[in-house]
Amino acid sequence: MTQFTNVNINTKANIYFDGKVTSRTVEFQDGTRKTLGIMLPGDYEFSTSQKEEMDIQAGILEYKVNGQEWKKIENSGVFYVPANESFLLKVHSVVDYCCSYLTEED
Amino acid sequence: MTQFTNVNINTKANIYFDGKVTSRTVEFQDGTRKTLGIMLPGDYEFSTSQKEEMDIQAGILEYKVNGQEWKKIENSGVFYVPANESFLLKVHSVVDYCCSYLTEED
């Protein structure tokens, strides 16, 4: 079982799209943070303030970062979204993800 | 912002009812564990192996522990379920909960 160890976690969830997208914020000892989230089937648009790494741990989705083509991830895969950018998602089956908030140098 | 500090968290989610109920497992330094979860509107039945404390942090639901009456929680409230028991839930709006797994002495 993979774990994040010695972290802090916010007890309240982040809830979007009537609960079809939810996440939990995790803070690491070095001050970085990630969110662990669930997305139910549906079409969503998000925008970033920081660069994001989206690590898909389970599920099937298509994603389109602004200015790029649609791409598909089945079961596992990673994509990146620059800071201050938008991206579209078509979630086909329940997605379990980990989002890391990065600096531009990462 | 309320947090659990210096905990371990499983990176993969627990997914039930096609993702309408999901949770994340948190382990504390003393070996106890809790799950932080989301339930979307719907009717659910669960059963316990340990005694459980269900702390509702947001949302509206009715619950019925086996042998008891239906009761309602709006926005916040706590209920307990004995070990090896079943309970029914009618979730009316998205519920954000924290479930603690207790010993019979708790």
Q: B29 and chain A: CB distance < 8 Å anywhere?
A: no
Can you give the pLDDT at residue B83? 96
Would you call A83 an interface residue with chain B, using a CB distance cutoff of 8 Å?
no
Q: Which tokens sit at A96?
A: 């379990």
Tell me the per-residue pLDDT of A54-103, one tens digit each, with 9 for 90 and over: 999 999 999 999 999 999 999 999 999 999 999 999 999 999 999 999 98
DSSP secondary structure string for all residues of A62-105: EEEETTS--EEEESSEEEEE-TT-EEEEEEEEEEEEEEEEE-TT
Chain A CB contacts of B36 below 8 Å = 9, 11, 13, 24
For the domain made up of A9-102, give the CATH fold: Jelly Rolls (2.60.120)
CA-based nearest distance B36→chain A, Å: 7
Res. B104: pLDDT tops 80: no
Q: Look up residue A10 and give its two tokens.
A: 């916010």
- Report the first-to-last Cα separation within chain B, whole angstroms: 26
Domain boundaries B23-102, CATH class: mainly beta
Interface ipTM > 0.85: yes
Give the whole-angstrom CA distance, residue A12 versus residue A83: 25
For residue B24, the distance in angstroms to the closest alpha carbon of chain A comes to 8
SS3 of B19, please? helix
What token pair was written down for A17?
């799209």
Residue of chain A nearest B26, judged by CA positions: A9
Listed in sequence order, the residues at least 6 apart from B30 whose beta carbon sits closer than 8 Å to its beta carbon are none
Domain ranges in chain B are: 23-102
Q: How many CB pairs under 8 A join A and B?
A: 97
Q: Is B49 on the interface with A (CB under 8 A)?
A: no
